[in-house]
């Protein structure tokens, strides 16, 4: 599990990212809200590991296996050609 200094550095970087998202103009809206969503998820994770460091429900091997399984489910569900990546 992550050490306390690593958790602290991660929390400071996450808070800096959230502060940056608050200063963004509306023209940067496509980046503003995803940055906030990822920041809040990261902060919740950091608080969990700070308060309950030994409460991670599975081993690293099982966690890695579940991430790979999720990847195998998500990749086929992703459209082959998205409007974001289509050439002009």
**Within-domain flag for 72:** yes
pTM of this prediction? 0.61
**Within-domain flag for 88:** no
Model pLDDT, residue 40:
92
Model pLDDT, residue 12:
95
Could you tell me if 46 and 7 are in contact, meaning their C-beta atoms sit under 8 angstroms apart? yes
Half-sphere exposure of 45 (CA within 13 A, CB side): 13
Model pLDDT, residue 73:
80
Residue span of the structural domain in which 45 resides: 4-77
How many structural domains are present in the chain? 1
**Within-domain flag for 41:** yes
How is 20-34 classified by DSSP, letter by letter?
A: HHHH--GGGHHHHHH
Distance from the Cα of residue 27 to its chain's centroid: 23
**Within-domain flag for 85:** no
Over the stretch 1-55, which tens digit does the pLDDT of each residue have? 778 899 899 999 999 999 998 888 888 777 888 888 999 999 998 998 888 877 7
Model pLDDT, residue 83:
56
**Within-domain flag for 29:** yes
């Amino acid at each position: 599990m992550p050490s306390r200094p690593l958790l602290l550095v991660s929390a400071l970087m996450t808070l800096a990212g959230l502060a940056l998202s608050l200063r963004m103009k509306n023209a940067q809206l496509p980046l503003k809200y995803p940055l906030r969503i990822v920041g809040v998820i990261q902060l919740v994770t950091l608080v969990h590991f700070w308060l309950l460091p030994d409460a991670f429900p599975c081993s690293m091997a099982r966690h890695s296996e579940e991430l790979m399984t999720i990847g195998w489910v998500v990749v086929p569900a992703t459209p082959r050609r998205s409007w974001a990546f289509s050439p002009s």
